[in-house]
Amino acid sequence: MRPVSSNKICEVSKKTKARVSRRGFIRGVGIGGGALGTGILEREVLAAPPAGNLLGPGAVPLTLTVNGKPQQLVVEPRVTLLDALRNQLHITGAKPNCDRGTCGSCTVLVGGKAVYACSMLAIEARGKSIETIEGVPASDPLVAAFVHQDGLQCGFCTPGFVMAAKAYLKRNAKPTEAEVAAAFGGNICRCGAYVPIRKAVLDAAGRGKGGKNARI
């Protein structure tokens, strides 16, 4: 057998890398089970049409409007908004962390208000506007301010903080430093980047001194 040159191996792995993201790979592995599951769920829906306004316990079809786009999905009533966003719609910006409505990394806006997506059922969000970090462009002044101020270390809490800050600045466009310090009691940053996060929010509100990082 001819040995495969190391160059070729490199090429193959490069191609693989380009095609398959970590999340795509995980999703691909799950497809078999997912497809089977969907079949069962759909049968359940057909077999047991909801009586009156009682839905489930089997999966029910829902439409969620995420970042302005209506999305169809079929989930059991017990599925949280966070799990529906991440596992059904593959909108993964809102992060699962404590999963008990404490840490804030799953913060999204529902009807314009910041909520913990882990502590709301997907079915409760029907007919409401849902905004996630994916709907916030990189050019958004708040995102830019987080970058300029280095308002993060590992970044896991950042989507939650940005969404909480979006909701907050809508209510109080020109906050004082003290107000900002008191406003984020619903989000935890385990890296402890609270000071730059507060500065970023003040910058985005035009109340800060500007950050040290170059503009992107």
Print the binding letters for residues 77-106 with other proteins: x by CB under 8 A, - otherwise.
xx-x------------------xxxx-x--
CB distance 18 to 38 below 8 Å: no
Q: Which stretch binds other proteins (CB under 8 A): 18-26, 84-92, 112-120, 199-207?
A: 112-120
Taken as a whole, the chain contains a residue count of 216
How far is 37 from 27, CA to CA, in rounded Å? Answer: 14
Please select the residue that binds other proteins; options are 85, 123, 162, 169, rule is CB under 8 A. 123
Strand partners, 115: 108
Nearer Cβ to other proteins (89/115): 115
Told to check if 205 binds other proteins by CB under 8 A, we report no
Told to check if 133 binds other proteins by CB under 8 A, we report no
Q: What is the 3-state secondary structure (H, E, C) of 158-211?
A: HHHHHHHHHHHHHHCCCCCHHHHHHHCCCCCCCCCCHHHHHHHHHHHCCCCCCC
Residues 11-70 within binding reach of other proteins (CB under 8 A): 52-58
Q: Which stretch binds other proteins (CB under 8 A): 10-18, 65-73, 177-185, 199-207?
A: 177-185
Edge-first strand listing for the sheet containing 129-131: 69-75, 60-66, 129-131, 107-110, 113-116
Residues in the site for other proteins, rule: CB under 8 A? 52-58, 76-78, 80, 99-102, 104, 107, 113-116, 118-121, 123-124, 164, 167-168, 182-186, 188
